[in-house]
Structure 1
């Protein structure tokens, strides 16, 4: 057998785990045997609950998933695998298999690759974490929030702070600013008669003029566990909106209690450090609280971000939303506000709110910005 075939066989053995042993006997080197032994207690958890019997020959305390010694296992992983592979394995351990022991050590938490998925997991566990890891949690929140903000801020600002100025050119080259007529006129001299094509050497773009937005946006955000990705994006979105001129943002977080985080709306890091996911849900109580925040109803947009799983009397929720609409407040119910917009929510309650006049949607932050701009422009 060639060396490349042996390596390929070893990879399949490591991927398939102990169940490949009868098909691939003696396919691993001693070091690869150590790798397989280190991977087995984690990835064999995928078979639990599927009717697959654990090997009775496993020694107690060795490969049995229920006997995994997390600190010792982590040391083995670090010794056996490259850093990038080690980070991926530890991320799987936390996000897929719920090994919460991993985040009790700030060094481990700092070593994980920041991502929205990792932050979602950490926020879900935050109530169980000790003070010694809160510095690492803050660093993770900062990295993820900054990453989301860098992706979203410019498109959102473009949507909300300016309209096209068709009398002034711009060096900002974006498809939404493209001036087709001026581009064609300026490049007519580059017409290729043989190919019958216009060669565009100098595309033209409109600039934007700022407009004042004397509007108030109230973001009412459900802290249910199912909403964690949307909570993260809502916190970043609130920070971006709060930085826009003459646009006031109120931020309210709720479960069965209410936290008015409006003071920190411009700081997503502080907002997310204060998030407490889980518990019951009283949406109606939160909406009634937000009613009190309305100063100019016809210049107010109320956004309810929730899975609509109401734990209290839904009639109180429906009547509160109806009062907002009757007063002239524009209302939007969001079942999701993240970059996938793929929600799970109570369709019955959402349908009742829609029947009472609230627009219901699951959208990305960019889509929300364009919706918001449309409502403000009237």
Structure 2
């Protein structure tokens, strides 16, 4: 069997046996492991499980030992994908019922998403272990984001003052080009830079209030995770007061527990409808000094109620000169999904609307707070 045919056979599963042939050895084990998971897709469409010779009888493998087999057979990236599909798509929550199995799960954001949804339904004996795994994942996310946030808020570049401290973040390419034009080499068509220029950085003064209003509907799970982490980091900045509200059709004020992102996330009840206008109106009570307040609405703008209350609240904030930003994606891929009509109307009122990764959001926030 050619390599191309082998890959297709593994992808299509045992139902392609007649056309592409069977698999043996290591490939056969991989095929059985994949079939245990993705065979559910075929069964969901009414195809019966084959129990003949060489087939995978469901009694031969359970969810708990399936995980160990998959981890040993596939590369890390493939295993993480299989783990995510098992938990998120096919609901193999048996994987979350044994503390020893939890130790073997690969801690990543996909797993955290599932843990948040499963936590309320877990046995009391398992909850502590679930929290331990979730806390490990959050610490990893926090460490990756903390550097980006601190760099963004360390100071803005002052283009009118030069610095002798070399730093890629402070590199002044315009003045460097201007001062080295005389070294241009026409043969290589390059400038040989003999003098490098850098901008100095000014320390920010940050008497600011940041209000995070976060949609906790099912489609916004990644945004909720990163918002909780971002809030915890911002709380550590001098002179910054952070308020945070989670909402669907109800409102949860988590402003008193932001230093622990996991406590914040365990307050989340993902799913339900969406009433953005009600949440934004609630957040107006946090605004004591409008011109030193940033209001960040993190949502897909899919308003379930009449948008009039939302527009009215945004108009009042705009008139008071609150800095308003709308984020339609806050995950690492920044894949935007939003209602363009409502988001467009919010932008017309005065809200800056964008879709970006968490590190870019930190830079955007830092630029606004100058």
TM bracket, shorter-chain basis: 0.7 to 0.9
Consecutive unaligned residues of structure 1, counting only runs of 5 or more, are none
Instruction: Output the CA distance in 2 between the equivalents of 1:302 and 1:209.
Output: 24
Identify which range, 328-337 or 17-26, moves more after superposition.
17-26
Cα offset, 1:371, TM superposition: 2.5
Residue 158 of structure 2 corresponds to residue 168 of structure 1 = no
Consecutive unaligned residues of structure 2, counting only runs of 5 or more, are none
**Mapped contact 1:191–1:198 kept (Cα < 8 A):** yes
Instruction: Output the CA distance in 2 between the equivalents of 1:74 and 1:27.
Output: 24
Instruction: Output the CA distance in 2 between the equivalents of 1:363 and 1:343.
Output: 8
Aligned counterpart for 1:117 among listed residues 91, 110, 113: 110
Instruction: Output the CA distance in 1 between the equivalents of 2:67 and 2:154.
Output: 50
**Mapped contact 1:164–1:209 kept (Cα < 8 A):** yes
Residues 97-176 of structure 1 mapped to structure 2, 5 A cutoff: 97-164=90-157, 166-170=161-165, 173-174=167-168, 176=169
Aligned counterpart for 2:304 among listed residues 304, 307, 311: 311
Aligned counterpart for 1:257 among listed residues 244, 250, 253: 250
Residue 277 of structure 2 corresponds to residue 284 of structure 1 = yes
Residue 226 of structure 2 corresponds to residue 224 of structure 1 = no
**Mapped contact 1:124–1:228 kept (Cα < 8 A):** no
Instruction: Output the CA distance in 1 between the equivalents of 2:178 and 2:353.
Output: 44
CA RMSD of aligned residues (A): 3.5
Equivalent residue for 2:62? 72
What TM-score comes out, normalization by structure 2 length?
A: 0.82
What TM-score comes out, normalization by structure 1 length?
A: 0.80
Q: Deviations over 1:150-181 (max 9, x none)?
A: 3332332232231236443336x33x311448
**Mapped contact 1:339–1:364 kept (Cα < 8 A):** yes
Equivalent residue for 2:37? 42
Aligned counterpart for 1:358 among listed residues 331, 351, 363: 351
Cα offset, 1:367, TM superposition: 2.6
Cα offset, 1:307, TM superposition: 1.8
Equivalent residue for 2:204? 211
Cα offset, 1:302, TM superposition: 0.8
- Distance of aligned partners of 1:70 and 1:236 in 2 relative to their CA distance in 1, 3 Å threshold: farther
**Mapped contact 2:63–2:92 kept (Cα < 8 A):** no
Identify which range, 293-302 or 104-113, moves more after superposition.
104-113
What SS class does the counterpart of residue 313 from structure 1 fall into?
Answer: coil
Equivalent residue for 2:238? 245
Instruction: Output the CA distance in 2 between the equivalents of 1:270 and 1:308.
Output: 26
What SS class does the counterpart of residue 21 from structure 1 fall into?
Answer: helix
Cα offset, 1:268, TM superposition: 1.7
Residue 330 of structure 2 corresponds to residue 337 of structure 1 = yes
Instruction: Output the CA distance in 2 between the equivalents of 1:195 and 1:7.
Output: 45
Cα offset, 1:185, TM superposition: 11
**Mapped contact 2:43–2:49 kept (Cα < 8 A):** no
Instruction: Output the CA distance in 1 between the equivalents of 2:250 and 2:43.
Output: 37
Instruction: Output the CA distance in 1 between the equivalents of 2:279 and 2:257.
Output: 18
Residue 171 of structure 2 corresponds to residue 178 of structure 1 = yes
